[in-house]
Amino acid sequence: MPETPDVKDSVEQTGHEAEGELERNLERLSGADLVLGIPSYNNAATIATVIAAAQAGVARYFPDSRVVIVHADGGSSDGTAECAVEAADREKFLQVPFRIYPVDKHSGEHTLMPGKASAQQAIFQLASKLGAKASVVVNGWARGVTPEWVEQLARPVLEQGFDFVAPYYRRHKFDGAIGKGILDPMVRVLFGRRIRQAGSAEFAASARLVERCLLKKEWTTDISSISADFWLSIQALSGGFRVCQAYLGPKVEDAEGPLPDLSAILSHLLGCLFSDMVVNPAYWQKLRGSEPVPVFGPPFESATEPASVNILRMIESYRLGHRDLQGIWGMVLPPATMLELKKLAMRPDEAFRIEDEVWARTVSDFSLAYRLRNIGRDHLLRALTPLYLGWAASFILQIEDAGPEAVERRVEKLCLAYEAQKPYLISRWRWPDRFNP
């Protein structure tokens, strides 16, 4: 690894001076086997631990490879960049201010938005400039990261020719409900790949996938800024790339800071998914069924430590939504579904259940409403939140006493129900008036 410049000095530089310094460094670092990118955005509490694990992973598993470790900050204001400098081995570390990368290389305009999307774009642009064979991203806010993550993510790309490696974490059965209930089954329906935990923050990408992503214009949109990880997964899935998964071990949820806005998360993730459905209907409508993807690394059992959920509050949120959102739901959902939802609202807590087929059709109906724009898209997607909470409460009630294998069977049953409802989705998409509520 060639000696890199003093990182602190590079951080203090701005504008064209910083760009020129980086270009000189890129000439000396070109031909890298692997770029290990660490995007961050206000992650001063975790960045040092992530950098230490990344450096240990490179030293342990890729001692003879040319590896460039890059910290790309998305405009943090909490001292993340300074914490990264203190934690880094400067001989194997390069820090990239996010502002130096223009979106339009021809105009030279600096239009990147603060946030993790700008940091991830900076990593991809740097990997492209270096001619790296693979890029691994381990986010600066990751907790529980180990050196083994670097190996498990990188080797399928470097040694077996895969283009995208999605992580497979060990999580509690109640965690990741958005993935289990919507994203993972819809990925099977739309892209024919059986990937679990789609859109997770850690991943690996080949050079040709990096180049495809860099050609996209979504980097400065809200979709890419908020749900950049899922957006990147969709690029791999919709582009015919070779995809696999890698076991990474425990996924430690961040219990610090304010609780995330569930409506905003759903709005951005589903906006990302539904937008791709609108753009590429010919692709997903011709696919039938799904196929498994390879999973690398030693398997593990699901987490068994207790997780705190308030099922009664989730059920009450559903009932409030049923009372207050009748007008919106009635514009989206057919009468038969509305009748099922009415029955659900009147059931006692212990018997609260949403049938898989009803839930799959509900998600399909919302995707069509997103396409037709009969309601403002953000307003539409936020109106799905009480419905999602109702489904999540129903799901948790069904698996609360189940072991890991039973939970997997239950998730598979839901995914198969989504696939069985694909003809309904295609029919509604092609002839929306036939099923007009």
- pLDDT tens sequence across 171-200: 888 888 999 999 999 999 999 999 988 888
Mean pLDDT of 97-126: 58
- 202 phi and psi, to 5 degrees? -100, 145
Q: What is the pLDDT of residue 10?
A: 37
Given a cut of 80, is residue 105 above it in pLDDT? no
Is the model more confident about 298 or about 105?
Answer: 298
Confidence of residue 113 (pLDDT cuts 50, 70, 90): very low
pLDDT of residue 1: 40
Is the pLDDT assigned to residue 5 strictly greater than 50? no
β-sheet with 203-206: strand ranges across: 93-97, 67-73, 34-40, 134-137, 203-206, 164-170, 243-250, 295-296
Nearest-5° Cα angle at 198, 416 to 273: 85
How much of the chain, in percent, has pLDDT values that exceed 90? Answer: 58
Specify the higher pLDDT residue, 30 or 314.
314
Percentage of the residues of the chain whose pLDDT score is greater than 70: 81
User: At CA 261, angle to CA 258 and CA 267, rounded to 5?
Assistant: 155
Which residue is listed with tokens 């403002």?
376
Band of pLDDT at residue 390, cut at 50, 70 and 90: very high
Residue 104 has pLDDT above 60, yes or no: no
pLDDT in tens, 332-350: 999 999 999 999 999 999 9
Amino acid at 74: G
Query: Which pLDDT does position 110 carry in this prediction?
Result: 36
Architecture of domain 7-296: Alpha-Beta Complex (3.90)
So what's the pLDDT on residue 6? 42
Torsions phi, psi of 381, nearest 5? -70, -35
Question: Does residue 391 or residue 265 have the better pLDDT?
Answer: 391
Taking 70 as the threshold, does the pLDDT of residue 392 lie above it? yes
Residue matched to tokens 């690996």 = 204
pLDDT of residue 428: 93
Is residue 198 within 8 Å of 224, Cβ to Cβ?
Answer: no
Q: What is the pLDDT of residue 15?
A: 40
Contact 227, 268 (CB under 8 A): yes
The pLDDT of residue 399: 93
d(CA 141, CA 272): 22
pLDDT (0 to 100) of residue 153? 96
At 8, is the pLDDT very low, low, confident or very high (cuts 50, 70, 90)?
A: very low
Q: What is the domain partition of the chain in residue ranges?
A: 7-296, 311-435
DSSP code at position 373: T
375: which 2 tokens? 């309601």
Query: Bigger pLDDT: 71 or 22?
Result: 71
Element (H, E) at 193: strand 193-194
Burial class of residue 291 in the structure, from the number of CB atoms within 10 Å of its CB (0-12 exposed, 13-18 middle, 19+ buried): exposed
- Three-class SS state of 201: coil
**What are 11-62's pLDDT values in tens digits?**
333 344 445 555 666 666 677 899 999 988 888 999 999 999 999 999 999 9
Per-chain mean pLDDT for the chain: 84
Question: What pLDDT is attached to residue 437?
Answer: 52
- pLDDT of the residue at 254: 56
In whole angstroms, what is the distance from residue 170 CA to residue 152 CA?
14
Mean pLDDT over 288-313 rounds to 82
- Please report the DSSP string for 62-116 in residue order: -TTS-EEEEEEE---SSSHHHHHHHHS-GGGEEEEEGGG--S-TTT----PPSSH
| pLDDT at residue 396 is higher than 60 | yes
Predicted confidence at residue 281, as pLDDT, reads 95
Q: How far apart are CA 113 and CA 371, in angstroms?
A: 27
Instruction: Measure Cα distances from 283 to 277, 286, 328, 352, 354 in Å.
Output: 9, 6, 30, 37, 30
